[in-house]
Amino acid sequence: MHRVQKAFIKLLVISALVLICLLLSQDRSDLVRKAIDLKASFHNLPLGGRRHGDEDTSIHLTESGLDLFMKEDDDLPTDDGRSEGEIGLVVDTSLAAAVSRKIRLACFITTREVHMETKLKAVNETWGRRCDKMLYVMTTNKTGPDILGLNITDHHDTLTEKIVQTFTHLYTTSLQHYDWFLKADDDSYVIVENLKFFLAHLNSSKPIYVGDHFVHFSPNGYNGGGAGYALSRAALRRLVEQGYRVPGRCRHAGGSEDIETGRCLYKVAVSTYLSVDRYNRSTFHAANPEAFLPGENNFLSGFSATKYNTLPECCSQLTISFHYVNYKLMRVLDMFLYRIAVFGRTVNYKKLKNLFKTREFQIPKERERAAYPGETLEEYYKNATEWRQRNTTIYIRKKAKHN
């Protein structure tokens, strides 16, 4: 009987221990669950840890990052805290990369061999490397995959000839490989990601031409060369096949390259699209950044088809380009745009979805303008077909003296 009692007591002790362990385990699970819930609620608080009633000011991210223009089957690259291969930059480039993959951009600049160690080096180490293809056009015997050497006298008056040969070269070698073709100068600075975002709103299979739209010298003006201008694949095809290859239709030499390119594109019915944003802030700028300071004399304001404003309303949040940027300023701009950030400020990309007015643009008739030599303003408001049929190779600038 004594043995039975001892066994019974042992059974009670073991049962009690098991019950205590179960109770402790349950309490611990509750504590862990409560801790997890507390942590989650902390991370869901807006910055500063304050709640704002019904107002939602918190930062919302999905596991894949921002989903602007993304589809469920889009591949987003992983980002381990590096940007463009540089250690120490905490930047998420997945959205820019996703848009970039959809827009294939070939860029070229006209330059001179003497600038290879200054201007060209600055372009190549800043914005130029963000193009899908970069081509440096110059009079040179040097060769390379990114150099187009031309046997043309190196002078401003020969730029039209260089541009005609370059666009023809791109038509022959690269038409099917790229969606858009950007011409810029060696003192242009281009924010390629913003350009690609803007171009993503347009259809490269349609004949489209965008840039800083000037009002003079043709029925619908032209885009200034210094700010850079972009042609769709369809526009490049028309420029060469219906423009350059038709005798007398377009200038092959002389004049100013941007004017002659704009006139030729109008001849072949390529549409100029508006490049300002929904707030009428400009994106392409044929002037340098300082020209938009209050009180500065921006001589290009008399050329632009849209009103140039001064800071802070001058420029779109997604500005694309500036001109007259020397190679030192080019590196400074690149540093501020790609290596420096303001803590706590993030861009609401969803609200930028409708930032641009992507539509064909015609110069308002009330805009003061100038006619091309040998033409009158009245001709610009008549039947476009009649103007396009004219031989416009009428203005030859006097030959420059070369030493």
Q: Is the pLDDT of residue 224 over 60?
A: yes
DSSP for 293-329, please give it.
Answer: STT---GGGGTBSSPPPPTTSSB-TT--EESS--HHH
- What pLDDT does 5 receive? 56
- Residue type, position 386, single letter: E
- What pLDDT does 18 receive? 46
Closest CA to 183 of 118, 136, 228, 239: 228
DSSP class of 23: H
- What pLDDT does 15 receive? 55
Tens-digit pLDDT profile for residues 348-361: 888 887 888 788 88
Tens-digit pLDDT profile for residues 251-265: 888 888 999 999 999
Please give the Cα distance from 296 to 190 (Å, whole number).
22
CB 402 within 8 A of CB 156: no
Residue with more model confidence, 70 or 249: 249
Mean pLDDT of the chain: 78
Please give the Cα distance from 217 to 38 (Å, whole number).
68
Q: Is the pLDDT of residue 168 over 90?
A: yes
- What pLDDT does 99 receive? 87
- How many Å is the Cα radius of gyration of the chain? 30
Closest CA to 106 of 135, 140, 144, 75: 135
In the numeric block, which tokens belong to residue 210? 């965008």
Q: Is the pLDDT of residue 215 over 80?
A: yes
The average pLDDT across 100-112 equals 92
Q: Is 182 helix (H, G, I), strand (E, B) or coil?
A: strand
Please give the Cα distance from 134 to 107 (Å, whole number).
5
- What pLDDT does 94 receive? 84
- What pLDDT does 77 receive? 44
Q: Band of the pLDDT at 320, cuts 50, 70, 90?
A: very high
- E strand or H helix at 171, and its extent? helix 159-174
CA dihedral 145, 146, 148, 149 (to 10 degrees): -80
Q: Band of the pLDDT at 327, cuts 50, 70, 90?
A: very high
Model pTM score: 0.76
The average pLDDT across 320-326 equals 94
- E strand or H helix at 190, and its extent? strand 189-190
Provide the angle, in degrees to the nearest 10, between the axes of the packed helices 159-174 and 257-267.
Answer: 50
In the numeric block, which tokens belong to residue 378? 């009245």
- For residue 399, the number of C-alpha atoms closer than 13 Å in the C-beta half-sphere is 4
- What pLDDT does 154 receive? 81
- Residue type, position 41, single letter: S
Please give the Cα distance from 402 to 132 (Å, whole number).
36
Distance set, CA 178 to CA 129, 132, 134, 171, 233 (Å): 16, 8, 12, 10, 7
Tens-digit pLDDT profile for residues 11-28: 554 555 444 444 444 444
Tens-digit pLDDT profile for residues 118-132: 999 999 999 999 999
CB 236 within 8 A of CB 205: no
